[in-house]
């Protein structure tokens, strides 16, 4: 079993920054690929960023590339998302996800067995 808990969400003006954190607990040894997804009001859950077990295989959605940075600290079982130059379209609930070695498509939410409860990010203009 793996538990994921996100934190760091909040309200910010357009152009501002936030840093999201995800704390993993339980059987963290089985975690390989991790990712951030988000779901805005009236929208489907969408891929934001992913990172491999040792910090390799980093990818971002085109909509956040150059503005967001994903990182992980395995010694502390933590995942991070640094979000800069935030836009109103970034407003969403952000979810941390974790998958095992069997993950084939890290961009598909169906690839991840473990999810956090979400943390709300609201960007105003």
Tell me the per-residue pLDDT of 14-62, one tens digit each, with 9 for 90 and over.
999 999 999 999 999 999 999 999 999 899 999 999 999 988 899 999 9
- Share above pLDDT 70 across residues of the chain, in percent, rounded to a whole number: 100
Residue 11 has pLDDT above 90, yes or no: yes
Residues whose CB is less than 8 angstroms from the CB of residue 28 and which lie 6 or more positions away in sequence, other chains included: 2, 77
> 8: alpha, beta or left, given left = phi > 0 and alpha = psi -120 to 50?
left
């Amino acid at each position: 079993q793996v538990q994921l808990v996100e934190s760091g969400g909040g309200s910010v003006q357009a152009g501002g920054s936030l840093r999201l954190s995800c704390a993993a607990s339980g059987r963290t040894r089985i975690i390989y690929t991790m990712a951030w997804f988000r779901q805005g009001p009236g929208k489907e859950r969408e891929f934001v960023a992913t990172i491999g077990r040792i910090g390799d295989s980093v990818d971002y959605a085109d909509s956040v590339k150059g503005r967001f940075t994903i990182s992980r600290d395995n010694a502390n079982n933590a995942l991070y998302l640094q979000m800069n130059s935030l836009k109103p379209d970034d407003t969403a609930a952000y979810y941390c996800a974790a998958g095992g070695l069997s993950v084939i498509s890290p961009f598909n939410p169906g690839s991840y067995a473990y999810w956090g409860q979400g943390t709300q990010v609201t960007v105003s203009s």
